[in-house]
Structure 1
Amino acid sequence: MYGHHFASERMRSSLIAANPTDLEVYLFHEGRLYQSYELFGAHVIRDGGAVGTRFCVWAPHAREVRLVGSFNDWNGANSPLTKVNDEGVWTIVVPENLEGHLYKYEIITPDGRVLLKADPYAFYSELRPHTASIVYDLKGYEWNDSSWQRKKRRKRIYDQPMVIYELHFGSWKKKPDGRFYTYREMADELIPYVLERGFTHIELLPLVEHPLDRSWGYQGTGYYSVTSRYGTPHDFMYFVDRCHQAGLGVIIDWVPGHFCKDAHGLYMFDGAPTYEYANEKDRENYVWGTANFDLGKPEVRSFLISNALFWLEYYHVDGFRVDAVANMLYWPNNDRLYENPYAVEFLRQLNEAVFAYDPNVLMIAEDSTDWPRVTARRTMAALGLTTSGTWAG
């Protein structure tokens, strides 16, 4: 268990300085903090000789938030987070390097219930059926895909022919004893197979953390956690790196419309609708048994748009197949409204942010509707996705 003291006043001051800035918090609540993963979640921070771990979470309805984990025997009594503002940003700095430790947030609701929640911004998570988040430092992987990146910048990717191979990582091939291949092992198995058949890109079904294998990742709980079924975040970086070295692009299925309702995840995160719509008809996705993201909420837009940029920055993916666009564009259970204006605005904002980051990112809409201008040029009347496609693996 860590102690509640600092080795020196200088160490204390330097670690406290790592707390959220007013500008970061303001942009988050405006829906325009596109690197919100640098603020929220668990981060090992260093300043000279000072080392600590900062935790930050958004829980607007919580009465109290405590940090629990393997470092304090899962007892949050002496680990309360400080509320930064009335809109519900909470933070704590632990004066130790907690990399590798398990943790959750213990959230006290206004009516006194105690919820144990995984970190929405966790970079790594326990293997199911366990559900804790893991402190993980994403830095340190040495990429070797500079030739691929130069090639992408040199050529207009949308003018090039593409043949895309879609697969689910866990079921494409298993070992004789039924175990999964790891990200590193799959690089040796999959890349030669795909190249021999003339494909230019691999498209991976969702790799965010998810509790149920049968969902194939489409019912996620950890949007910033590449699933631990096949290894660590650095292992997945290695897989993408190997693909790029072999001349293969990597596209991931990305699900910004709905999420899993398991108790440890985003659903009713602080005892009330937080990431989801408040109205039950808008919130509940009865067909899939999931909850719909509240795309009109600025903090949710910061969360999701940042997530897309996160996969581009840290994992070097080349594009996204945006899942279930139709479910986003149209209210599924609302008799009064048809088109969802929040989703329309979100998709425009998403594409503006993504293409500002890198104009060569592939943005593929999985759309089964006749909504006009899904892939039209980015204007106020268009969504700005670059192509549309629904295909079988």
Structure 2
Amino acid sequence: MVLEETIADQGYLFNTGQSFESFGFLGCHVQADNKTAFNVWAPNARIVSVVGDFNDWRDSELTKVGTTGIWHGDFDGVNSGDLYKFAITGPDGKRNLKIDPYATQFEKKPGDAALVPAISKHKWHDGLWLGRRKRSNPDCRPLNIYEVHLGSWKRHVDDTYYTYSEMADELIPYVKKMGYSHIELMPIMEHLLDASWGYQQLGYFAATSRFGTLDDFLDFVDKCHLANIGVIVDWVPGHFIRNYDALYKYDGTPTFEYQDENRANNSRWGAWNFDLGKSQVHSFLISSAMYWLGKCHIDGLRVDAVSNMLYLDYDEGKEGQTNKLGDNRNLEGIEFLQLLNTVIHKKYPNALMIAEESSAYAGVTDPVEKNGLGFDYKWNLGWMHDTLEFFEMDPLYRSDHFNLLTFAFVYMNNEKFILPFSHDEVVHGKKSLMHKMPGDRYNQFANLRTMMTYLMTFPGKKLTFMGSEWGQFLEWRDWSQLEWVDLDDPMNQKMQQFTKKLNQIYHDQRSMWEQDYVIEGLNYTNTDDAKNSTMGFIRQGKSKRQFTIAAFNFVPVERKNYRIGVPFTGEYELLLNTEDESLGGTWTRLQTHFLADKTPYKGQPASFTVTLPAMGALLIKPIKSRG
């Protein structure tokens, strides 16, 4: 039986915002004496009961523990798998059924009752993976993320979901074969509305029951690690589902959300904002992050909608709101994010904390001790939007808008960036990456190959959304599986082979990831040729003899005798020609070797010439260099 003194001690830490593993005592827990304990925080409730299968949905009252605001009860006859909810009578005397905020599994939608947890039978086998992760610096490692929505990657013929186990059998080998380093799962925390994609969360400690049990999910993560694939999960600490039987007015009063309904209401996303200045909310949310990173062995969290937590006026209808200093920053939100990253990195120093932040807020990836937010990485949404706008443009006009590409060079070292071509850019009428590309079908593929090569060579870690790797034409639909039938078409097959080869090159060439976040990692050799819409630069590794040359032609006009400046004379070899016929292009004969002489060019002491393919790119590396 859980002692009241222990709950009081835990409650003190929870109420002061210092209980970062509060899932250990709040929620539902099977005790050693075969009793089952229920603990829930509802500080302003008049009466709290648990109702469920084990008591025929009749009230079994809990007892309030001192002044902690936590209610506790131990009961016999509770079985794993029983459904339950809390019945909470608020200060106004109204009784409402509420979810367990700490439930680790819910019944399948449309219901939202929690399940009494079973003793986990999962045994971890990923010690080697965790050991390697602990010893490595992700900044100096390849990070090539495959973003996945589990509900629509693949489905059965009858349109039912694949289970976590079936995903392990099919998704993991596919990701391994394609050469990605990590899978990023769009939110798999429990949610009711499919169309929310998981971003309106119900359960902050529960993997969705759509695809199986908690143990099934843990097995999936374990198998990813055994295949040397990391797992990142999208996480939403800024706002929660609007449903009244969830967290909203949990004890009959604003409990998890702001007291001020205007601040609590998130009209843009149809959700409620967490009160990020509340110490109990700190304990709740940081415990959620710790649960996924610790109990579930997740390798990183991509924190959604950080801008909404940074600004008071980010949402519609909140223009003009200011803080006590007179500006629009949400000081509470900033302090919460700093605390979150401090706590996470103290316990899990090699966990990846990734910010999806859409403004120019400075210091997102700076250390907290230097007044930064403390994230490891930030999505570079500016680079993404500018790059897509450039490639969607008719090549005839690209020379006049070359700054869309070159502007990113100005700020690329301001933060530690991830370059994302994410789900947000291939939905709601924005078209798929393939469909965005101008011209006929051949030219669309040529543009796509060139753009993906540009992504993989520009400084920063990488993320692409599922289906982009073979050039799916239809934009993403969350209600059906990807258009795998596309791969019956030789052009899509070759695009998939191209992506596989490009990923392999990225993995093998240390220069393409070893110095992503230092100025020495990129040498500008020809980045000012707007007139001809060509670009060249060198990705530099830590060894001066280790580098990759990237040359791009962004218009459908072949450039003969295109000169490339290099640091040394000697022999060079081709890594990739995007117009290779085997990869979907038209070149049947490739120049695979190049000899650099002492002709200086564009600030480099040596150079050689190539034929730069129309609407194409070349990647070249040194074999033997002199000088």
Q: TM-score normalised to the size of structure 2? A: 0.58
Q: CA deviation at 1:154?
A: 2.2
Alignment of 1:350 with 2:340, yes or no, is yes
Asked whether the equivalents of residues 20 and 39 of structure 1 are also in contact (C-alpha less than 8 Å), the reply is: no
What does residue 33 of structure 1 align with?
19
Alignment of 1:42 with 2:32, yes or no, is no
What does residue 282 of structure 2 align with?
301
Give % identity. Answer: 46
Letter aligned with residue 346 of structure 1: F
What does residue 92 of structure 1 align with?
73
Secondary structure of 1:98's aligned partner: coil
Matches within 5 A, 1:108-147: 108-137=89-118, 139-147=120-128
Q: Which moved more, 1:263-272 or 1:293-302?
A: 263-272
What does residue 177 of structure 1 align with?
158
What does residue 235 of structure 1 align with?
216
Change (3 A) 1:269 1:143: same
What does residue 205 of structure 2 align with?
224
Letter aligned with residue 335 of structure 1: G
Letter aligned with residue 16 of structure 2: E
What does residue 55 of structure 1 align with?
38
Alignment of 1:70 with 2:69, yes or no, is no
Q: What is the rounded CA distance, in whole Å, between the counterparts of 1:142 and 1:58 in structure 2?
A: 31
Q: Which moved more, 1:88-97 or 1:354-363?
A: 88-97
Gaps of 5+ in 1: 1-14
Change (3 A) 1:92 1:380: farther
Q: CA deviation at 1:95?
A: 2.9
Letter aligned with residue 178 of structure 2: R
Q: What is the rounded CA distance, in whole Å, between the counterparts of 1:74 and 1:82 in structure 2?
A: 18
Q: Which moved more, 1:369-378 or 1:153-162?
A: 153-162
Q: CA deviation at 1:19?
A: 6.7
Q: CA deviation at 1:138?
A: 5.4
Flag as ranges the 4+ runs of structure 1 deviating above 4 A: none
Secondary structure of 2:150's aligned partner: coil
Change (3 A) 1:387 1:16: closer
Secondary structure of 1:21's aligned partner: helix
Q: CA deviation at 1:296?
A: 0.4
Residues 115-163 of structure 1 deviation map (CA, whole Å, 9 limit, x = unaligned): 0001000011010001101011453310111111111122222321110
Asked whether the equivalents of residues 43 and 137 of structure 1 are also in contact (C-alpha less than 8 Å), the reply is: no
Matches within 5 A, 1:373-384: 373-379=363-369, 381-384=371-374
**RCO higher in 1 or 2 (8 Å CA, sep ≥ 6)?**
1
Alignment of 1:261 with 2:242, yes or no, is yes
What does residue 7 of structure 1 align with?
none
What does residue 353 of structure 2 align with?
363
Q: CA deviation at 1:87?
A: 4.3
Residues 56-113 of structure 1 deviation map (CA, whole Å, 9 limit, x = unaligned): 001112111011000001010xx11100133421111113453211100000111111
Q: CA deviation at 1:17?
A: 2.8
**Counterpart pick for 1:107 among 55, 77, 88:** 88
Q: What is the rounded CA distance, in whole Å, between the counterparts of 1:138 and 1:32 in structure 2?
A: 27
Letter aligned with residue 211 of structure 2: Y
Secondary structure of 1:250's aligned partner: strand
Q: What is the rounded CA distance, in whole Å, between the counterparts of 1:226 and 1:321 in structure 2?
A: 16
Residues 325-359 of structure 1 deviation map (CA, whole Å, 9 limit, x = unaligned): 00110113263311101110100110111111111
Residues 188-228 of structure 1 deviation map (CA, whole Å, 9 limit, x = unaligned): 11011111211000000001111101111000111111100
What does residue 273 of structure 1 align with?
254
Q: What is the rounded CA distance, in whole Å, between the counterparts of 2:356 and 2:118 in structure 1?
A: 33
Matches within 5 A, 1:4-15: 15=1
Gaps of 5+ in 2: 323-327, 382-419, 423-464, 466-627
Corresponding pairs, count: 374
Letter aligned with residue 34 of structure 1: F
Letter aligned with residue 221 of structure 2: V
Q: Which moved more, 1:87-96 or 1:104-113?
A: 87-96
Q: What is the rounded CA distance, in whole Å, between the counterparts of 2:371 and 2:319 in structure 1?
A: 23
Q: CA deviation at 1:378?
A: 2.6
Asked whether the equivalents of residues 37 and 75 of structure 2 are also in contact (C-alpha less than 8 Å), the reply is: yes
Q: Which moved more, 1:176-185 or 1:377-386?
A: 377-386
What does residue 499 of structure 2 align with?
none
Matches within 5 A, 1:143-158: 143-158=124-139
Q: Which moved more, 1:260-269 or 1:329-338?
A: 329-338
Asked whether the equivalents of residues 7 and 65 of structure 2 are also in contact (C-alpha less than 8 Å), the reply is: no
Change (3 A) 1:150 1:18: farther
Q: What is the rounded CA distance, in whole Å, between the counterparts of 2:370 and 2:87 in structure 1?
A: 42
Secondary structure of 2:291's aligned partner: helix
Letter aligned with residue 356 of structure 1: K
Change (3 A) 1:353 1:138: farther
Asked whether the equivalents of residues 144 and 182 of structure 2 are also in contact (C-alpha less than 8 Å), the reply is: yes
Alignment of 1:194 with 2:162, yes or no, is no
**Counterpart pick for 1:166 among 147, 152, 155:** 147
Asked whether the equivalents of residues 19 and 91 of structure 1 are also in contact (C-alpha less than 8 Å), the reply is: no
Q: What is the rounded CA distance, in whole Å, between the counterparts of 1:261 and 1:182 in structure 2?
A: 27
Letter aligned with residue 336 of structure 1: Q
What does residue 501 of structure 2 align with?
none
Secondary structure of 1:170's aligned partner: helix
Change (3 A) 1:92 1:295: same
What does residue 495 of structure 2 align with?
none
Q: What is the rounded CA distance, in whole Å, between the counterparts of 1:245 and 1:187 in structure 2?
A: 11
Q: What is the rounded CA distance, in whole Å, between the counterparts of 1:383 and 1:154 in structure 2?
A: 24
What does residue 588 of structure 2 align with?
none
What does residue 296 of structure 2 align with?
315
Q: TM-score normalised to the size of structure 1? A: 0.93
Secondary structure of 1:343's aligned partner: helix
Letter aligned with residue 85 of structure 2: K
Change (3 A) 1:137 1:100: same
Q: What is the rounded CA distance, in whole Å, between the counterparts of 2:356 and 2:162 in structure 1?
A: 28
Q: CA deviation at 1:18?
A: 7.2
Q: What is the rounded CA distance, in whole Å, between the counterparts of 1:298 and 1:60 in structure 2?
A: 13
Q: What is the rounded CA distance, in whole Å, between the counterparts of 1:280 and 1:64 in structure 2?
A: 24
Letter aligned with residue 335 of structure 2: E
Change (3 A) 1:16 1:353: closer
Q: What is the rounded CA distance, in whole Å, between the counterparts of 2:68 and 2:5 in structure 1?
A: 16
What does residue 246 of structure 1 align with?
227
